[in-house]
Amino acid sequence: MSLTIYGPAQSRASRVLWMARELGLDFEHDIGFAEDGASPALLAVNPMGQVPAIDDDGFALAESMAINFYLAKKHGKLAPKTLADEAQTLRWSFWAMTAVEKPMLEALLKARGLMGHAQDADAAQTLIGSLQKALNVLDGALDGRDYLLGDDFTVADLNVASVIGWGRMAGADFADQPRLAAWLDRCMAREAARPRG
């Protein structure tokens, strides 16, 4: 039995590494890139040449949120237990990727002046401001519940928090979304959420 996770810890692979730590999995960690781009090993697993990707005993899978859904279900931990919860997990994961991820990542890169972006705190705040409607939706969904599916932390929370957490790193305090802010604190306080090495 062997699992290899491809992708630097500073990339979207961080959310898969978080999941692997939650599940207590043994795994190999391969950065997946050589000086001239995606390594042959990464390309063999994900022809898109993007990370994260995994090779789980010969089963190759790309897309961070699909990987986390697969690992949670395979290992029977942090997984949705009903069809409705499974659908909600997919809903929230797609929502995070389509409604939030792009501007939130751009806000982080601008706030910190990363990956060729000029440091620009105002531009970062403007981007986060453009997300208020989406953030209010998440805040509303957390009314009366600690986590997205109810009382327990699941893959739905991990996937969404891995995107919303970029906002914190970009300087957002989520003052207008107190339930979201408290939920994010709960998610990020988990031992497995802390990057290693």
Told to check if 50 binds ligand GSH by CB under 6 A, we report: yes
Q: Smaller CB distance to ligand GSH: residue 165 or 177?
A: 165
Nearer to ligand GSH, 63 or 139 (CB): 63
Candidates 4, 64, 68, 177: give the one binding ligand GSH (CB under 6 A): 64
Contact 181, 189 (CB under 8 A): no
Q: Does 11 bind ligand GSH (CB under 6 A)?
A: yes
Q: Write out the two tokens for 68.
A: 């986390």
| Strand (E) or helix (H) holding 110 | helix 101-112
- In this complex, which beta carbon is closest to ligand GSH, that of residue 11 or of residue 154? 11
- Closest separation in Å from C-beta 158 to ligand GSH: 13
Is residue 14 close enough to count as binding ligand GSH by CB under 6 A?
no
CB nearer ligand GSH, residue 49 or residue 171:
49
Distance of CA 188 to the CA centre of its chain: 11
CA distance 138 to 68: 20
Cβ proximity of 156 and 88 under 8 Å: yes
In the bound complex, which residue of the shown chain has the CB atom lying closest to ligand GSH? 50
Binding footprint of ligand GSH, residue count (CB under 6 A): 8
Residue recorded with tokens 């802010």: 181
The β-bridge partners of 4 are 28, 55
Contact with ligand GSH (CB under 6 A) among 4, 12, 167, 170: 12
Judged by beta carbon, residue 155 or residue 181, the one nearer ligand GSH is 155
Which residues in 75-104 contact ligand GSH (CB under 6 A)?
Answer: none
Binding residue for ligand GSH, selected from 63, 95, 100, 124, defined by CB under 6 A:
63
Q: Give the burial class of 164: count Cβ atoms within 10 A of its Cβ; 0-12 exposed, 13-18 middle, 19 or more buried.
A: buried
Q: How far apart are CA 38 and CA 52, in angstroms?
A: 11
Nearer to ligand GSH, 11 or 89 (CB): 11
Say how far apart CA 16 and CA 57 lie, in whole Å: 16
Do residues 15 and 158 make contact, with C-beta atoms less than 8 angstroms apart?
Answer: yes
Site residues (vs ligand GSH, CB under 6 A): 11-12, 49-52, 63-64
